Amino acid sequence: MIPAARPEIGDEERAAVDRVMRSGMLAQGPEVAAFETEFSAIVDGMHSVAVNSGTSALHLAFLAAGVGPGDEVIVPSFSFAATANAVALAGAVPVFADIETDYFSIDPAAVEAAITPRTKAIMPVHLYGHPANLVALKAIADKHGLLLFEDAAQAHAASVDGIPVGAWGIAGSFSFYPTKNMTAGEGGMITTPSEEVARLAKVLRNQGMERRYENEVVGFNTRMTDIHAAIGRVQLTKLAGWTAKRQSNAAFLTANLEGVITPPTAPGAVHVFHQYTIRVTDLDRDAFAAELGKRGVGSGVYYPTPIHRLPSFQLELDLPGTELAASQVLSLPVFPSLNDDELGTIVEAVNAVAKAGS
């Protein structure tokens, strides 16, 4: 079975962990500081703050930028629950807007229609590694005096018009979960142009203190360990090569798949293909996935239930693009270590299932 995703861990990562273990400095220390500096280089020199997960990055970014009770944050419902959870954890209210089904990202027109006097911020999600329409969203944010956040959990090294994601607004948030485009084992990173937002994020991750035992706010323990940072530092050196391989794999799939809608890339956008997500329009998507499995090809549905319909939110909303995407999307393997035989197997399986069901 070709898995839907495969973590890329090598001898260099194992050696980095061993180096930290031998050093005796296991908690947040010099490796974290170095990782933050090195990550800043891929986000146009933004301040970078490492934390223990992508969700913590989202949460602390909101708090550090002053989002809280009484505020509304416009987000897509077609995303992982952490997108809206982080808004709620900050005490604010997630307001769900519909998506553009071509790119699976929040629709700028729907965002503008959702703005109220309580709106504080907009947070697009760069789903599957394709950046949202940041030019339009930034223009809307600037026009209405709103903060722009980016959920870049799946989009390391993606960009629009040469500007990397994570560098467009007040804060970006990345994830280093094992199956992301790069991993630290687990972890997250906040990026921001604001020195004060970065400082507050560091205070919040460390029990509310910048200096030991001088707690200035109520904070959290969401620090990244030096073990995780050491892994992340190694992975960061491999990210460019892995991204190119993901893009190459995606190009092969797009050129050879039949009977499904393949993912386009918007003008000016660099898609980094965290997922290669097709749309199954003429057949039952779940049956399609089951048939692929019988042919040795794993796949994933990200995400079958929009956030607004989850038990944690349970809202009745009219989001037709979101509902359509949730019923059609299917992500195929695209990870860097796929070999030519595996790519051929994926194409043969998809085309056979599509043909058999047509």
Res. 82: pLDDT tops 90 = yes
Q: CB count, 10 Å around CB of 122?
A: 29
Q: Tens digits of per-residue pLDDT, 307-317?
A: 999 999 999 99
Residues listed for the chain: 358
Q: What is the mean pLDDT of residues 248-258?
A: 98
CA angle 288, 291, 297 (to 5 degrees): 100
Q: What is the pLDDT of residue 259?
A: 97
What kind and span of H or E run contains 136?
helix 134-144
pLDDT at 358 over 80: no
d(CA 124, CA 136): 11
Domain 11-234 has CATH 3.40.640.10: yes
Residue 116: is it exposed, middle or buried by C-beta count within 10 angstroms (0-12/13-18/19+)?
Answer: exposed
Give the pLDDT mean for 127-156: 98
Q: Phi, psi at residue 355, to the nearest 5°?
A: -65, -45
Domain boundaries, the chain: 11-234, 239-357
- Tell me the pTM: 0.97
Say how far apart CA 314 and CA 19 lie, in whole Å.
Answer: 48
Q: Return the CATH number of the domain spanning residue range 239-357.
A: 3.90.1150.10
